[in-house]
Every structure is written in structure tokens, then in C-alpha cells.
Amino acid sequence: MAVKKKGLGSKGLGIEALINTKMDDLKETAMQNTAQMGDSSPKELDLDMIEPNRKQPRRYFDEKALEELATSLKTYGMIQPVVVQKNGDYYELIAGERRWRAAKIAGLTKIPVVEKSWEAGEAFEVALVENIQREDLNPLEEAESYKRLQEEFGLSQEKIGEKVGKSRSNITNMMRLLQLDNRVKNFLWENKISVGHARALLAITDGEAQFDMAEHVIDEECSVRETEVLVKKFLEPEEETTKPEKEVAALVNKRELEDSLKSIFATKVKISANKNKGKIEIAYFSEDELDRLLTIMKRMEV
């Protein structure tokens, strides 16, 4: 006769009870760790009494990620307290705005907080360091934060590096991203290019040329190494004329042709050219769209 197996745990409480017990342990540990940040003990505060930090380094919050976190908060509650400081009749968030936003989505009325008191510069540093440690910042948000620490609070790049645990050269390289053409910055914001791509593109100082090269890199799905090679070739001088002039003309012409074809076919068109030969790729995303494109092409037959 087979022995009847019990559920998980010494008392056969099942997986749900085991998870809930583990989450309770995590909550207790998190509260203890947060309390060690200073002499303030964690306490609960009405969500409506907390307002976001207007100088928060982070400006973009992924809605899908917030929804996922809100679902977790509904089930397990908030494990890690947010950090606030008194500001008149309300409390201003110093660290934990993502958790605060998710708590609002989850419909929580109270959340655990640790109250601290800092000067404006110190509060900004704490918020910046927390976001960097959690890897929550977009590269441009990080670069802008370093610029603020330098310009508003008079910190050298070396001092900034000490505060955030990064080398001075790393701070310098991140701040250089702010020199990108605004359109290329948007590519970085949208994760169409990486920091490595952006650093390579910085070597092209002409904004229009830099933008055209960035579009080429995105369209051709170039790696960082391939981008570095393209930029190097772009900047090397040639007899009679320079490669930048030739490359810019070629890229601009290619872009104009693609735009013209996009307007005809109402879909993405990609041109790949090499000397006197190349190919044109017309994208479609369903059988109906393919039929539409074939109809347009047939009408062109004269």
C-alpha cells in the first residue's frame, strides 16, 4: 500500500503556506535592514500623505513593470519600505517611487516608510544612488543626474564617482551622452541603440550626419563593433573629397528613397546598397497586407 504523501513543509501546509511564510521572513529582514539606515524605525503611512519627489532622477516608469509589481503587492504587500522626509503637511519621497506608484495601482491605502531628514543635495544623492544600485535609470537619466550633481551641488566628477561607486572616467563617458543629437538621444531613450552604439556615434560631431548614421545602424542592426568600424571609415579623409561628405550624401539619398517608397507602400521599406548593386526589402505583417502590396505592384505594371 502506497504511503500518502504530505504537502510541502513539515506540517504538510502546502506550497502557498510555504511561500507566505518565506515572504513574512523577507518582510521582517527588509524592515530590519531599512531601520539600520538611520535612527528612524519603519512605520506605516497613509498613501495619500506621500507625494513624489519633483527632483527625482528617474523620469520614465515602465507601465507593464508597474502592473506586475502591483500584482505582487496585492498578494504579498510591500516588503521594502520607501524612504520619505517631512515636507510641510505631507511627506516627500526620497527613495522608492516605483513601489509607491505600484502601491497606488494595487489599491493599497497604507505602506511602510522610513522617515529621514536630509538637505536638498543629500536627498538628491540618496535618490540617485538608490536608482543606480537598482539599475532603474535610463543612461540619459543617469547622465543628467551627474550633470545636476556637478552644476547644482558643485561636485567634481571624481567626487560623484565616489558617491555612486563608479570611476571618474565612467562618469565622464556617461555625461558625454548629453552631447548627442537630440534625435539620437531619442533612439537611446527608446532602446533602439545601446550606450555602446551612442559612444561610437559621438565621434561624429555633425548632428545631421550623426542622426543619419544612427538610422543606418538601426536599420542594418549593426553591432557596437560594426558601428565603430563604420564611424571610423566615415571619418577617414580621402583624396579630392572626404568620406564624411560622401557618406552623408549616400545616407541622405538612401533615406530619401526609403521615405519615398514608404509613402507608396505604406509600410517599412529598407534599402541595402553596395556600390552598384543592392536590394530593396518591403515588410508585411499579414497575408492581407501582402495581398495589398501585390495589388499596388500590379497597378504599377504599364
**Cell 550606450 found at:** 195
Q: Which three cell numbers stand for residue 33?
A: 535592514
Q: Which three cell numbers stand for residue 164?
A: 555612486
What per-residue confidence (pLDDT) applies to 183?
Answer: 93
What per-residue confidence (pLDDT) applies to 95?
Answer: 78
What per-residue confidence (pLDDT) applies to 213?
Answer: 92
Higher pLDDT, 238 or 189: 189
Q: Which three cell numbers stand for residue 73?
A: 503587492
Residues 106-145: tens digit of each pLDDT? 888 888 888 877 665 666 666 666 666 555 668 888 888 8
Name the percent of the chain lying above pLDDT 70: 70
What per-residue confidence (pLDDT) applies to 299?
Answer: 78
Counting Cα atoms < 13 Å in the Cβ hemisphere of 12 gives 4
Measured CA to CA, the distance from residue 216 to residue 125 in angstroms comes to: 38
Banded model confidence at residue 6, pLDDT cuts 50, 70, 90: very low
What per-residue confidence (pLDDT) applies to 248?
Answer: 61
What is the distance of C-alpha 122 from the center of its chain? 24
Of the candidate ranges 36-40, 104-108, 180-184, 248-252, the one whose mean pLDDT is the lowest: 36-40
- Residues forming the active site: 97
What backbone phi and psi angles, to 5 degrees, belong to 216? -60, -45
What per-residue confidence (pLDDT) applies to 218?
Answer: 92
Banded model confidence at residue 57, pLDDT cuts 50, 70, 90: low
Residues 70-89: tens digit of each pLDDT? 888 887 788 788 888 888 88
Residues 183-226: tens digit of each pLDDT? 999 999 888 999 999 999 999 999 999 999 999 999 888 999 99
pLDDT at residue 177 tops 90:
yes
Residues 6+ apart with CB under 8 A from 188: 138, 139, 140, 177, 180, 194, 195, 198
Angle between helix 207-219 and helix 182-189 axes, rounded to 10 deg = 30
The average pLDDT across 256-276 equals 76
Measured CA to CA, the distance from residue 229 to residue 84 in angstroms comes to: 48
Domains of the chain with bracketed CATH: 15-137 (3.90.1530.30), 180-300 (no CATH)
**Residue 105 and residue 67 in contact, taking contact as beta carbons nearer than 8 Å:** yes
Higher pLDDT, 12 or 236: 236
